[in-house]
């Protein structure tokens, strides 16, 4: 077991830090509070990702054949950590490089690849992920948005909800029902968001502007060439897509940085002398480190080419615990951060609440751990 970074990994991290220091505007900490899906950040991300691409830092972990440099999962982790701890200046484009691009390469038709990949590798595309529906959250396979084949078109009717980036996205990676089978009746359409019949409504949220939306599909017609993969193949494809996403965002990294920032502020303000505050900070530190090492155990497996199994749910839940403890620490000892005294801490707090819900809720992770890590008998359905 080696818990130290190699010189090369450390140099890669430093390169990213240097890039961020040279590129982000001076008022970035305040600016980034707009939230990763806000119009301001989305626009900024286009310029930022373009520069990342020029420096070979947008898709370095993609295989060489598809325009990457074939860097291993550790580099992917370092990249994700440095971007997230900086407030995710890639905005919604992080999804492109993590899974939309690789999925297009694996399952897309040549025409789809030609159409969509250049904007992803150039750092200008913005996708949204049309999965959840009002009646289908954790139970995604119950989704009801329907796509009906009519001649050379699909006619789409239904509703998506909680869709991040939908207000500004150019394309939707849309899950819809083409058959009755719970999972094998689901297909994927790549739908341009300016197609007539699509209505997007932003939902005001605790986590910043533009993050979640309702998207209505009212007799939306897309050509059959928008079908991604085969009809009924959606479940298989998203399983592939989300393999890279199983660990989720490296939230433990921002949680740790927020915790350290809070401690620095407390020390400067004379708020660090009591035992209670130091004990609480240490609890938060232990949970951050537990989440980080549990995540690194998964990255180790990936780096060795092994399949990542249900243990990633354990790392995910550990991250939720860390995220909450840091947020609670700040609320208790530095409440002024949530007013406007410390933009970085506010940014952490605002984003942190999502950890236990988005990309698979915490209780679903516990169900997976119970079933597949502890191998307990399943709940009856």
**Contact set with another protein (CB under 8 A):** 1-6, 9, 74, 260, 263, 267, 270, 272-273, 275, 278-279, 281-283, 285-287, 289-291, 293-294, 296-297, 299-300, 303-304, 311, 314, 317-318, 321, 363, 365-367, 369-370, 373-380
Rounded CA-CA distance 203/212 in Å is: 6
Minimum CB distance to ligand FAD smaller for 131 or for 228: 131
CB of 220 to another protein, least distance (A): 39
CB of 16 to another protein, least distance (A): 16
**Which among ligand FAD, another protein, none contacts residue 211 (Cβ within 5 to 8 A by kind)?**
ligand FAD
Helix, strand or coil, per DSSP, at residue 52 = helix
- Verify binding: residue 62, ligand FAD, rule CB under 6 A: no
Active-site residue flag, 245: yes
Query: How do 171-177 and 127-130 pair as beta strands?
Result: parallel
Minimum CB distance to ligand FAD smaller for 6 or for 138: 138
Residues 6+ apart with CB under 8 A from 3: 293
How far is CA 130 from each of CA 140, 212, 264, 353, rounded to the nearest angstrom? 11, 11, 41, 21
Catalytic member of 9, 29, 245, 328: 245
Q: Residue 18: which region, alpha, beta or left (left: phi > 0; alpha: psi -120 to 50)? A: alpha
- Interface residue with ligand FAD, options 137, 232, 310, 343 (CB under 6 A): 137
Query: How do 127-130 and 146-150 pair as beta strands?
Result: unpaired
The number of residues making up the chain comes to: 381
- Verify binding: residue 361, ligand FAD, rule CB under 6 A: yes
- Interface residue with ligand FAD, options 98, 163, 241, 312 (CB under 6 A): 163
Q: What is the DSSP string of 253-299?
A: HHHHHHHHHHHHHHHHTT---SHHHHHHHHHHHHHHHHHHHHHHHHH
Closest CA to 133 of 218, 14, 214: 214
Helix, strand or coil, per DSSP, at residue 322 = helix
Rounded CA-CA distance 274/135 in Å is: 48
- Verify binding: residue 323, ligand FAD, rule CB under 6 A: no
- Verify binding: residue 126, ligand FAD, rule CB under 6 A: no
CB of 145 to another protein, least distance (A): 29
- Interface residue with ligand FAD, options 44, 48, 94, 131 (CB under 6 A): 131
CB of 116 to ligand FAD, least distance (A): 18
Determine the straight-line distance between the first and last CA of the chain, rounded to whole angstroms: 41
Rounded CA-CA distance 186/176 in Å is: 6
- Verify binding: residue 164, ligand FAD, rule CB under 6 A: yes
Is the sign of the CA dihedral 215, 217, 220, 225 positive or negative?
positive
- Verify binding: residue 367, ligand FAD, rule CB under 6 A: yes
**Which among ligand FAD, another protein, none contacts residue 377 (Cβ within 5 to 8 A by kind)?**
another protein
**Which among ligand FAD, another protein, none contacts residue 339 (Cβ within 5 to 8 A by kind)?**
none
Minimum CB distance to ligand FAD smaller for 78 or for 126: 126
**Which among ligand FAD, another protein, none contacts residue 93 (Cβ within 5 to 8 A by kind)?**
none
Closest CA to 128 of 163, 78, 99, 87: 163
Taking CB under 6 A as the criterion, which residues in 239-268 touch ligand FAD? none
CB of 47 to another protein, least distance (A): 32
Rounded CA-CA distance 149/155 in Å is: 6
| Residues at the interface with ligand FAD (CB under 6 A) | 128-132, 137-138, 162-164, 207, 211-212, 354, 357-358, 361-364, 367
**Catalytic residue IDs:** 245
């Amino acid at each position: 077991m080696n818990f130290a970074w190699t010189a090369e990994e450390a140099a890669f991290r430093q390169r990213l830090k240097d890039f961020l220091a040279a590129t982000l505007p001076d008022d970035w900490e305040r600016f980034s509070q707009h939230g990763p899906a806000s119009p301001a950040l989305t626009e900024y991300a286009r310029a930022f990702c373009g520069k990342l691409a020029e420096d070979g830092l947008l898709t370095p972990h993609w295989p060489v054949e598809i325009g990457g440099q074939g860097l291993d999962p550790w580099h992917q982790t370092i990249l994700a950590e440095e971007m997230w701890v900086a407030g995710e200046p890639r905005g919604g484009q992080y999804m492109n490089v993590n899974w939309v691009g690789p999925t297009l390469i694996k399952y897309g038709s040549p025409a789809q690849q030609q159409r969509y990949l250049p904007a992803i590798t150039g750092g200008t595309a913005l996708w949204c992920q049309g999965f959840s529906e009002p009646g289908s959250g954790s139970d995604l396979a119950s989704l009801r948005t329907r796509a009906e084949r009519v001649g050379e078109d699909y006619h789409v009717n239904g509703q998506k909800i909680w869709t991040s980036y939908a207000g500004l996205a150019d394309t939707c990676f849309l899950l819809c029902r083409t058959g009755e089978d719970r999972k094998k009746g689901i297909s994927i359409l790549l739908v341009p968001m300016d197609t007539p019949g699509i209505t997007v409504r932003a939902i005001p949220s605790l986590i910043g502007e533009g993050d979640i939306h309702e998207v209505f599909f009212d007799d939306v017609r897309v050509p059959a060439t928008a079908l991604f993969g085969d009809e009924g193949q959606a479940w298989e494809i998203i399983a592939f897509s989300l393999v890279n996403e199983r660990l989720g965002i490296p939230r433990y990294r921002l949680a740790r940085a927020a915790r350290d920032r809070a401690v620095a502020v407390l020390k400067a303000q004379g708020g660090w002398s009591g035992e209670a505050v130091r004990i609480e900070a240490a609890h938060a530190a232990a949970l951050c480190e537990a989440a980080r090492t549990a995540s690194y155990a998964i990255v180790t497996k990936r780096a060795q080419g092994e399949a990542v199994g249900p243990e990633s749910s354990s790392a995910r839940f550990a991250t939720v615990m860390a995220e909450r403890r840091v947020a609670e620490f700040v609320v208790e000892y530095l409440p002024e951060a949530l007013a406007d005294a410390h933009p970085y801490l506010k940014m952490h707090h605002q984003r942190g609440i999502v950890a236990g819900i988005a990309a698979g809720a915490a209780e679903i992770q516990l169900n997976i751990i119970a079933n597949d890590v502890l191998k307990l008998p399943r709940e009856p359905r």
